[in-house]
Chain A
Amino acid sequence: MKLTKLIGLLLSISFLVVSSTVVWGQQKTQITVQTYWSLEPPGGVAWSDIIKKYESSHPDVEVKHYYVPFGDLVKKLITQALTGDFPDVVFADNPDIQYLVHTGVFKDITKLVQEWGVWKDYIPGSQLTVTYRGKIYALHQSTNNLALWYNKDYFKQIGIASPPETWDELINVCQKLKASLPKVYPIGFSARNTEEGTWQFEPFLWSSNGSLLALDKPEAVRALDLWTTLVKEGYAPRDVLNWGQGDLTQYFKNKQLAMMVQGCWELAPSELEDFKKNGMVFGNNFDVAQIPVPKKGMKPVVPMGGECFTLPAKGNPQKEKIAWDFVKFLNDSKNMADFCANTGRVPTRISAIEPLLKDRPDLKVFTEQAKSAVPRPAAGAGEKYTDVSTITREAIQKALSGTLSPKQAFKEASEKIRKLFSTDEEYNKALVEARSALSKVRK
């Protein structure tokens, strides 16, 4: 009796397990796309809308979306490359493109892009981002960058009319804010151990004329000094070591941060609605400004943000045609402008910028910055950028957590970065390339 019961249980379990892995009957062709964008409202509305738009204009196609957390995406792509099990449409954050191409994750789509004929419409930075050794491997679908967000109401309270423009002004404002508003942190940024940390640091590093490949030089150290001072003086909570940019928005919305370093994607209409619910209207209660620079008159230099779509190196040939069609759809000029308007992003195609600004004039600060935004691998050793970034973040964390002084932390980091290159020649070449990428935008 017991035996039959056990067998019965076993069979039903096996059935459940097997049925959960059966692919449901397909009348439509299904293509899969994997991103770190959520489909969940409020933030995910634009993304899920554009997918639905594609599906309604292509009724024989079903687009299945997989969500992967931001910090896990490259890891997922690598493991997929190891087993050849890619989604039909791959997606990555732009600084990872060089590394991923070098690793063999993406397909060479030069021919496809040339056939399409819109390559010249892409801004130079975007072209650079997706090109590796003369070939095109992806399309940069939208870009974004960082600015200083500030709570106007708090500023009014301490009697300051305009946001700080230099580092000295920044510290000053923080001092005043801390004195008058003890329950609020003057500023927040992300110093987390993911690309977010390096990305948030780069505006300060580059505006100071520092280079990722020469972190031991004074221009670079003083940027880390700034961050360390902000944390040490209690202007920024030490929790920034564990915060992502999403956290910053939460705390800023809750009015626990007076300022934050944040990107334009948080200005999506759905987010603006959410801000309103908390009594914060963009323009009235809070606004954005350019990131402070070391000395007056210097130009802020920000890293180029945004994500790319493309085809995997080992894709399913039958699905490839549809997958490429979907990628083109996302990169279509009008779709791009709409998407950017709905997500608070900046188009990478010149023809889409004006339409966007018509819809969203409040994104002007960001479209301006995008013109001179620097692709990170270009200023950080190309396909080695991922490693350079990892080493830099470790140093930032060590300095902010008090383990090492900024000078020591960056000295250690610069040594580790030099070791990434097998010859001095190679290193110097990369250094020169990095510096020239930065100096180009200063003109």
Chain B
Amino acid sequence: MDRFGPKRYGFILPAIIFTVLFAIYPLIYNVVFSFQDVTAISLIQKTSQFIGFKNYIDTLNDPIFRRTVLNTLIFTILSILFQFIIGFLIALLFNKEFPLRDFMISLIMLPWFIPILVSGTVFKLFFMDMGLINRLLLSLKLTQKVIPWITSGSVAMYSLTIANIWLGIPFNFILLYTGLKGVPVELYESAEIDGAVGLKKTLYITVPILKPIIITTLLLGAIFTIKVFDLVWIITGGGPGNSSHLFSTYSYQLAFGNYNFGMGATVSVIMILIIIVVVSILNLIKVED
């Protein structure tokens, strides 16, 4: 390949230039904003001032921000955990050949491909106090009172997590499913000869082989979960009372709701730093394997 010389760069430069122009440059601009007192007024009247770390201090002292950190933890850990478990269980189930399997696989992919606007809106309808879930529970006499899925500050985040789990199942399923397909059948057969049966077979044979895929799935799952914006914005908008914000939604609200672009940028920057740190740690774990 080397013999083609500098021409090789021609393949990657368009993508790099495009990304730098439309993504990196704006990103840096946000870091600049985060050190300034930038509001709608100051931008229009051109009075934005450099204020050092004040935005960062204000953000770290902001009770909503602290709540957001907690929310992100709950949301991310529970989402990844359950998406993975459910996806894995379904993948195991689908590892057999049965009629209509392939059709059902495309059905399982639906949550991933249906526009988020639609799925978010439907979940919003489901989660209303007058919504489907409550009415079903009441009809089946499973609860006495209506559950405040998205109208209670302490429950809202969990409801969003449920919706996000639903959203993430296809992705986890498909990776693990293709991973399982890659496990040579002979391995199973030899294990059976040795007496391993059912669950044992799964755990001791399959999991170690799938380890790299499992780690990749969890890593990508983590990345996708931290990025979530649309789902939360559509279902609760971060409410009620700012109790269900994630970094992405809080940053957006600060910038486009309160017109404080400086603070919005600050939250963004903090979020990005956290993402970088977490992903680097996870990557290190992967490499060590």
Contact = CB atoms under 8 A, between A and B. Distances in A.
Interface magnitude class on chain B: 20 to 34
Interface stretch (A50-58, A233-241, A435-443): A233-241
A75 B154 CA distance: 29
B151 interface: yes
Given A237-B130, A390-B257, A103 B41 contact: yes
A239 B129 contact: yes
B153 A401 contact: yes
Q: Interface residues of A toward B: which range?
A: 20 to 34
A395 B256 CA distance: 20
Nearest to B153: A403
Contacts of A82: 40, 43-44
A310 interface: no
A421 to B, nearest CB: 16
A239 B44 contact: no
B242 interface: yes
B153 A398 contact: yes
Contact of A397 (B41, B124, B129, B239): B239
Nearest to A81: B44
A108 interface: no
Nearest to B243: A403
Interface in A205-262: 237-239, 241-242, 256
24 contacts: A78-B40, A82-B40, A103-B41, A103-B44, A104-B41, A104-B44, A104-B45, A193-B239, A193-B240, A239-B129, A239-B130, A241-B150, A241-B239, A241-B240, A242-B150, A387-B258, A397-B241, A397-B242, A398-B240, A401-B148, A401-B156, A403-B241, A403-B243, A404-B241
A88 interface: no
Interface in A49-88: 75, 78, 81-82
A402 B153 CA distance: 7
A394 interface: yes
B35 to A, nearest CB: 19
B243 to A, nearest CB: 6
Given A103-B41, A104-B41, A400-B240, A390 B258 contact: yes
Interface string A190-212: 00010000000000000000000
B33 to A, nearest CB: 13
A245 B237 CA distance: 17
B152 A402 contact: yes
Contacts of A241: 150-151, 239-240
B259 interface: yes
A320 to B, nearest CB: 19
B128 interface: yes
Contacts of B44: 78, 81-82, 103-105
Contacts, number: 82
Interface string B125-141: 00011100000000000
A321 interface: no
A102 interface: yes
A14 B231 CA distance: 32
B125 to A, nearest CB: 11
Contacts of B146: 238
B67 to A, nearest CB: 10
B240 A75 contact: no
A398 B128 CA distance: 17
A193 to B, nearest CB: 5
Given A242-B150, A403-B153, A403-B243, A193 B129 contact: no
Given A82-B40, A256-B130, 6 more contacts: A82-B43, A193-B239, A242-B124, A242-B236, A400-B151, A401-B239
Q: Which 5 A-B pairs have the closest CB atoms?
A: A397-B241, A403-B153, A238-B151, A398-B241, A401-B240
Nearest to B259: A78
Interface string B217-238: 0000000000000000000110
Contact of A193 (B41, B237, B259): B237
A79 B258 CA distance: 13
Contacts of B153: 398, 401-403
Given A103-B40, A103-B44, A75 B152 contact: no
Nearest to B236: A242
A401 B41 contact: no
A242 B151 contact: yes
A403 B124 CA distance: 20
A103 B43 CA distance: 9
B187 to A, nearest CB: 41
A401 B130 contact: no
A416 B152 CA distance: 22
A401 B45 contact: no
Contact of B241 (A78, A105, A239, A401): A401
Contacts of B152: 238, 401-403
Interface string B255-283: 01111000000000000000000000000
Contacts of B43: 82
A409 to B, nearest CB: 8
A238 B148 contact: yes
Interface in B1-53: 40-41, 43-45
B6 to A, nearest CB: 22
Nearest to A231: B151
B51 to A, nearest CB: 15
A400 B156 CA distance: 13
Contacts of A402: 148, 152-154
A296 B237 CA distance: 39
Interface string A288-322: 00000000000000000000000000000000000
Given A78-B40, A104-B44, A401-B153, A237 B129 contact: yes
A105 B44 CA distance: 9
B29 to A, nearest CB: 13
B250 to A, nearest CB: 13
Contacts of A400: 151, 240
Contacts of B151: 238-239, 241-242, 400-401
A395 B240 CA distance: 10
A254 to B, nearest CB: 11
Contacts of A256: 130
Nearest to A82: B43
B141 to A, nearest CB: 15
B258 to A, nearest CB: 7
Nearest to B147: A238
